[in-house]
Amino acid sequence: MTVKTFRIIRAMNRALVLVSSLVALSAQLRAAVPPAEQLLPDDTLGLITFPDWEKASAYLRQSPPGQLWHDPALRQFREHFEKQFKEDVAAPLERELGIKLADYAGLIQGQITFAVTQNGWDGASEKKPALTLLIDTQNKSDQLKGLLALLKKKWVDSGKQIKAEKIRGVEFTTLLLNRDDLGGALKKVFPSAEASPAQPDKTEEGKDVFEITFGQSESLLIAGNSLKVLEKILIRQAGGSVGVLAEQASYEANHSAMFRDALAFGWVHFKPLYEILLRQTTAAGRGPSGANPLGVPPDKALAATGLGGLKTIGFKLGGNNNEGTLAEVFLGVPESDRQGLFKILAMEAKESAPPPFVPADATKFSRWRLNGQKAYATLESMLASIMPELASILQMSLDMAGKEKDPNFDLKKDLIGNLGDDFVIVEKKPRSSSLADLGSPPELILIGSPNAEKLANALKATASILPVTSGDAGLNEREFLGRKVYSMTLPSNPSPDGSKPINRTFNFAASGGYVALSDDVALLEEFLRSAESTGKSLRETEGLAEAAQKTGGLNTGFFAFENQRETWRSSFEALKTSNAQLDRLLSLTEKLGTDQGAENVKEWLDVRLLPPFDKVAKYFHFMVYSGSASANGLSWKAFLPTPPAAR
């Protein structure tokens, strides 16, 4: 072989390698699925997405809750829960749908997104919002293709109704399920769902059906109930020109500020939702007068809340396992549009750190720099805008309150006029392990005032005219460390264990620029002695200042702290002592009318199998959260530092 021939062969090999590399790179670029905001239509009302499921799931597995769930100490509880969940939910669904959930769980590699699109919905016509699910399987697209083909074959063989669709050259399948198919599978969890179903679609035979269309475009699994929306997603995925969510200025502002580094995030376009809600409430206000006995115009009540100024809602989850988890909620209500409730919620940028007198053994603490007088004025204005007659009656009642006992008493001037801009709540661990104490830990409320003594006297005068202070009990007054302490007996509460009722007292006193209120007289006296205390303060807690910086610092106007190790210790003890605490956790399902569903969930959560708390205490630490206001909106952030033993 001549040198010239050798050079030609070597050049050809290099060219072949280059072409192969370009082909591989082209395939990778072609297969890359755009992020959710680049795929979803521009009329998207809301979405929840994990941009990278592999990254997020790895984080969750290594997080303290993930480590706790897989700790050997929790094995019996975990295995019982998983067994019951599989029997009551997973297995019936698998039978009805002809699938094995485990086969599909491993397919999620990239993003997983659920979205709601307006799709012409206006709240008045028969048009409905569109629901869409996107799952990126990345290098498991061949596996997805095989599973979908097998699934369609099973459905056809079992006699299920399906329709074949073709959108932009991509094959889609529409499954028509009787609502009873899904309802039967889930009736043990939601037993009342069959009693009051939503208005269903109808087949030609008049049967109630639920339709879902799904298909695979490259590595992307797309499912939804609107062919129009699915087509828009395909156009965008192929690089076509169609309006997408990322082009919405309201979304992009939130994305740039919050979502870029998020493990998971969600977004709601509230403005169109408010417009639909306002349209519906206005129409409701034109109905028969008997439907609105108070005569309050629904549209005025809605407008007075200030919801019309809320443009967007954003929330995200982020962080890393070496430092901790950060969560944030943002309400996009610009300062110029802030009215009603949002005007009250807007925090003034003032010091919100724990005052020196808050002890280190406090389990919960919060401090809100709310201007009490301005907040009351806003509430008064809201009421006047809704119903001026009712506002006048309220004003007259305030003017007359207490006049029969003291003609010089002015409730609004003496009480509201002495409110400051500092509200503090301190909670300590329960006094004992009894069910009554576990359910009602000591709590102290502090109201800042430019003249705390006058505010306390106003509270005294107000309390003296309340029905609960009438009779022999009345309002008692005593001296403690030179301070006047006022106490009155409150109506008894039923005991959690069914024993004799619990007697309660309401106590308050003025000290150090605050009026302190508590139903735990020992905690109130501890506050009154705080000037003499030399103990450690909460603000000296190791790591608290550093954690606070993750949420914006200690001068945002709102700051809170929770010692989760102690609060969860109490919860563990309460759960293992009585099912009453579990009943509280499941009260939402009971309020929704699914009492039997709550009983079934209690079967899954067998609290008797929980280990002693000390065996899992290392997974719990503390949490801080703060609130702040900017020209663009209101923000709340929470940070959970990773416990040292769980890093």
Give the CA dihedral 475, 478, 484, 490, nearest 10 degrees: -30
Q: Tokens 């009215």 appear where? A: 339
- Measured from the Cβ of residue 423, the count of other Cβ atoms closer than 10 Å reads 19
pLDDT higher at 285 or 115: 115
Confidence of residue 289 (pLDDT cuts 50, 70, 90): very low
pLDDT higher at 476 or 199: 476
359 within some domain: no
356 within some domain: no
For residues 101 and 90, the answer to whether their CB atoms sit within 8 Å is yes
Element (H or E) spanning 7, and its range? Answer: helix 3-31
Of the candidates 296, 384, 387, 292, the one whose C-alpha atom is nearest the C-alpha of residue 339 is: 384
DSSP letter, residue 257: I
Backbone angles phi, psi at 561, to 5 degrees: -140, 145
For residues 428 and 442, the answer to whether their CB atoms sit within 8 Å is yes
Task: Tell me the residue type at 516.
Answer: A
For residues 559 and 622, the answer to whether their CB atoms sit within 8 Å is no
How far apart CA 204 and CA 224 sit, in angstroms, is 21
**Neighbour-count burial for 264-287, b at 16+ CB within 10 Å, e otherwise:** bbbbbbbbebbeebbebbeeebee
223-264 pLDDT, tens digit per residue, is 999 999 999 999 999 999 899 999 999 999 999 999 998 999
| The two three-digit tokens of residue 416, written as one number | 């509201």
56 within some domain: yes
Q: Is 323 exposed, middle or buried (0-12, 13-18, 19+ CB in 10 A)?
A: middle
What does the pLDDT read at residue 208? 62
How far apart CA 397 and CA 402 sit, in angstroms, is 10
547 within some domain: no
Confidence of residue 67 (pLDDT cuts 50, 70, 90): very high
What does the pLDDT read at residue 88? 86
Confidence of residue 139 (pLDDT cuts 50, 70, 90): very high
What does the pLDDT read at residue 551? 96
Residue 167: beta bridge partners? 170
- Containing domain of residue 96, as a range? 41-247
Q: Which of 23-37, 73-87, 167-181, 218-232 has the lowest mean pLDDT?
A: 23-37
How far apart CA 536 and CA 258 sit, in angstroms, is 36
For residues 330 and 315, the answer to whether their CB atoms sit within 8 Å is yes
For residues 457 and 516, the answer to whether their CB atoms sit within 8 Å is no
Confidence of residue 101 (pLDDT cuts 50, 70, 90): confident
Confidence of residue 588 (pLDDT cuts 50, 70, 90): very low
SS3 content of the chain, % helix, strand, coil (to 5): 45, 25, 30
How far apart CA 52 and CA 50 sit, in angstroms, is 5
How far apart CA 563 and CA 554 sit, in angstroms, is 17
What does the pLDDT read at residue 180? 62
509 within some domain: no
Confidence of residue 501 (pLDDT cuts 50, 70, 90): low
| The two three-digit tokens of residue 135, written as one number | 């799952």
Q: Which of 167-176, 203-212, 296-305, 549-558 has the lowest mean pLDDT?
A: 203-212
How far apart CA 612 and CA 450 sit, in angstroms, is 48
Q: Is the pLDDT of residue 594 over 60?
A: no
What does the pLDDT read at residue 247? 95
Between the alpha carbon of residue 441 and those of residues 292, 518, 567, 622, the distances in Å are 41, 11, 10, 18
**Neighbour-count burial for 526-542, b at 16+ CB within 10 Å, e otherwise:** bbbebeeeeeebbbebe
Report the pLDDT averaged over residues 525-553.
92
First to last CA, the chain: 63
Of the candidates 114, 111, 112, 116, the one whose C-alpha atom is nearest the C-alpha of residue 226 is: 116
> What is the number of structural domains in the chain?
1
34 CB-near residues (< 8 Å, 6+ apart): 236, 237
Give the CA dihedral 189, 193, 194, 195, nearest 10 degrees: 130
Helices within 238-371 (DSSP H only):
249-254, 270-285, 298-304, 340-345
For residues 171 and 73, the answer to whether their CB atoms sit within 8 Å is no
What string of DSSP letters covers 552-583? T-S-SSEEEEEEHHHHHHHHHHHHHH-THHHH
449-473 pLDDT, tens digit per residue, is 999 999 999 998 887 776 655 444 5
| The two three-digit tokens of residue 564, written as one number | 């989760």
Q: Is the pLDDT of residue 574 over 90?
A: no
| The two three-digit tokens of residue 617, written as one number | 């205490």
What does the pLDDT read at residue 592? 43
What does the pLDDT read at residue 24? 44
CA 423 centroid distance within chain: 24
224 within some domain: yes
What does the pLDDT read at residue 372? 95
606 within some domain: no
How far apart CA 225 and CA 132 sit, in angstroms, is 7
Q: Is the pLDDT of residue 582 over 80?
A: no
313-360 pLDDT, tens digit per residue, is 999 999 887 899 999 999 999 999 999 999 999 988 999 999 999 999
What does the pLDDT read at residue 301? 86
153-182 pLDDT, tens digit per residue, is 888 888 888 899 899 999 999 988 766 655
215 within some domain: yes
Q: Is the pLDDT of residue 63 over 60?
A: yes
How far apart CA 644 and CA 647 sit, in angstroms, is 6
Of the candidates 300, 460, 462, 455, the one whose C-alpha atom is nearest the C-alpha of residue 373 is: 455
